[in-house]
Structure 1
Amino acid sequence: MRVATIDGLVTLFYDGSKELWNENLNWERSIALLTGVRANDLESSNVSDECKRYFRERHSWEQIIIVDGVTEIPYMTFGYCRNIKRVIFANTVIRIERNAFYHCENLVFIKWSVSLVYIGKSAFEECNLSSVFLPPTCREICDSVFYSNRNLSILHFPQETELGEKIIYCTALAEASPNANFPFYYRNNDMNQWLKNMNIDNQFALHRACSSFQPLKEVINAILIQKGLKAFKEKNSAGITPSRYLQENPYTDLSEKEIIHDYLMKMIDEVE
C-alpha cells in the first residue's frame, strides 16, 4: 500500500496486503472517550503514542482508491477515518463487509465496483452520502448500510436486490417517504418497497431511464419523443428530477445538454 496526493487529496492506494483495523488500539481510544476525552483531542490525551500515531495516520487519509485485484473490504477497515471524502473501488471488489466505512463522516462520493454483490451491515453508516448508484450485480444490502446519511436523497439499486432493515434513516429520502411520520420500525417493509418502486410507474419512465446504473441515450430519447423536454422537470415522490440523476450518476457519460441537442436535431429533421 502507498500514499500519494491525488487531486489535492491525501490518497491511500489500498491493495489488501495489510490489515488496517487494530481492535486493541481502538479499545484504548474508546476508553479515553469514555473518560471525557473528545475525539478531536486525542493527541493531547494520555493514550499511548502508538494509539496516537495509528489514528493520526487514519485521519490523514482523504481519498481511498481500491486497487485492481482486491475482492473484499474486511470488517472496519476504514472505520472512524473521519476525513475520507472519496472512495473509488476497483471493479474486482465483490464484497464490502460489516462496518467497513463506519463513521466516515465526510465521505460524500463513492464510485462502486461494477462487480459488487454484497454490502454488510452498517458498512456506510454515519457517512455523508447524497447519492448512491449501485450496480445491477448487487444482490444483498444488509441492515443499516446507509443509516444516518442525513443528506441521502438518491438511492438507486436493482429490483432484485435483497434489502435489510433500516438501510436508511434520518435522511432526505426517509423524510420524503410515505408514512414519514410513523415510528421507523413500523414502516421498514413499506420503506423498502417504496425505495424499489419509486420510479417504476409509467409517469416516471424518464426517471427510471436516467437513474439506471449506466443510462442509454437511445432509451432516454425514445421517452422524450413521447413526453417532450418537460419530462426533465418532473419530480418523483422524493422530489428528484431526471436531470439530477444524470448529474450525480458517476457511471454515465451522458449529459442533459447532449441529450437535448440530439432531441432538437431530430425534431428539426422531422419538420424539414
Structure 2
Amino acid sequence: MRVATVDGLVTLYYDGSKELFNRDLELEWIRACQRTVRRDNDIESLNLSLECKEYIRQRLSWQQIIVVDGVTEIPAKTFKGCKNIKRVIFADTVTRIGMVAFSNCKSLQHVRWPLNLENIGERAFSNCNLSSVFIPPRCQNIGDYACSLNDNLEILNVPQNTALGLLEITGSTKLAKLYMKQNVPGWWLTNINFGNHFDLHRICSSFEPTLEMILDTMKERGGPKTFKVENNIGITPSRYLKENPYAHVKEKEVIEKYILQMIGEL
C-alpha cells in the first residue's frame, strides 16, 4: 500500500496486503478520549503510546481511498472512524464490503461503487455524509443499518431484487422525513419500481440509461415536462439522471434531441 496526493487529497492506495484496523490500539484511543475533559481529543495531549499515536495519525491523514484492481473484499472495520476520508473509489473487482467498514467516516461524500459488488455488511456506511447512493445491479444483499445516520441522504436507489436489511434509513434525516410522509412500509424504495407513472424515474435511475429509452418514454408521457414529475418521495427523473453515476447521457442532450425530432430535423 502506498500514500500519495491525488487531486489535492491525501490518498491511500488500498491493495489489501495489510490489516489496517487494530482492535487494541482502537481501544487504547477510545479509553484515552473517555478519560479527558477536552472535547477536541487532540492526539498529542492524550496519554497514548507512541504506537497508538502513529496509528491514529495515519488513519486521520487519509482523505481519499482508491481500492486497486484485484482486491475482492474490504474486511470489517477497515476504515472505521477515519473521519477525514472524503472519497472512496472501488475497483470493480470488489465483491464484498464488510460490516462497519466505513462507519463513522463523517466526511465521506462520494463513493464510486464496484460494478461487481454483491454484499454490503451491517452499518458499512453508517454515520457518513452521503447524499445519494446508487447500488449497482449485481448487489444481492445489504446488511442492517448499512446507510443509517447519513443526515444528507436523499436518494437511496436499490435494485428491485436486492435483499435489504433492517431500517436502512434510521437516522438519515432527510430521507426519513420524505419516507414518513408516505406512511407506507418500504415505499421509499419501491414506489418507482412499479406502475407506468414512474417509467422515466426507473430509466433515469437505472444502470446505464440510454438516450433512446428516455426519448421513447418522454414521447409517451408528454415531453420534457415529464423530467419534473416528482415520485412519492419527492425526487424527479431530472434529479435521478443528474445524480446517477452510471448515466452517460445528460438531460440537456435529451431535450435537444427531443426538440429536433419533434420539428422533423432528425
Equivalent-residue separation in structure 1 for 2:185 and 2:170 (angstroms) = 10
Is 1:216 matched up with 2:210?
A: yes
Equivalent-residue separation in structure 2 for 1:11 and 1:67 (angstroms) = 12
Equivalent-residue separation in structure 2 for 1:126 and 1:194 (angstroms) = 20
**CA deviation vs aligned residue, 1:40-72 (integer Å, no higher than 9, x gap):** 422211111211111111111111111000000
Residue 213 of structure 1, CA deviation: 2.3
**CA deviation vs aligned residue, 1:145-185 (integer Å, no higher than 9, x gap):** 001001111111111111110111222111111467x8xxx
**Aligned match of 1:242:** 237
**Aligned match of 2:256:** 261
Alpha-carbon RMSD across the aligned residues, in angstroms, is 1.7
**Aligned match of 2:18:** 18
TM-score by structure 1 length? 0.92
Is 1:177 matched up with 2:179?
A: yes
Matches within 5 A, 1:16-165: 16-36=16-36, 37-38=38-39, 40-165=41-166
Equivalent-residue separation in structure 1 for 2:106 and 2:51 (angstroms) = 24
**Aligned match of 1:185:** none
Please list every run of 5 or more consecutive structure 2 residues that lacks an aligned counterpart in the other structure: none
Residue 193 of structure 1, CA deviation: 4.8
4+ residue runs over 4 A deviation: none
Change (3 A) 1:194 1:85: same
Equivalences, count:
263
Equivalent-residue separation in structure 1 for 2:27 and 2:39 (angstroms) = 15
Equivalent-residue separation in structure 1 for 2:181 and 2:261 (angstroms) = 43
* 2:247 aligned residue (227, 246, 252): 252
Equivalent-residue separation in structure 1 for 2:226 and 2:205 (angstroms) = 14
Equivalent-residue separation in structure 2 for 1:232 and 1:257 (angstroms) = 11
TM-score by structure 2 length? 0.94
CA contact (8 A) 1:134 1:213 kept: no
Is 1:225 matched up with 2:219?
A: yes
- Describe the SS at the equivalent of 1:244: helix
- Describe the SS at the equivalent of 2:107: coil
Please list every run of 5 or more consecutive structure 1 residues that lacks an aligned counterpart in the other structure: 183-189
CA contact (8 A) 2:77 2:102 kept: yes
Structure 1 residue identity aligned to 2:232: S
**Aligned match of 1:187:** none
- Describe the SS at the equivalent of 1:169: coil
**CA deviation vs aligned residue, 1:232-261 (integer Å, no higher than 9, x gap):** 111112211111111111221111111111
The answer to which of 143-152 and 202-211 deviates more is 202-211
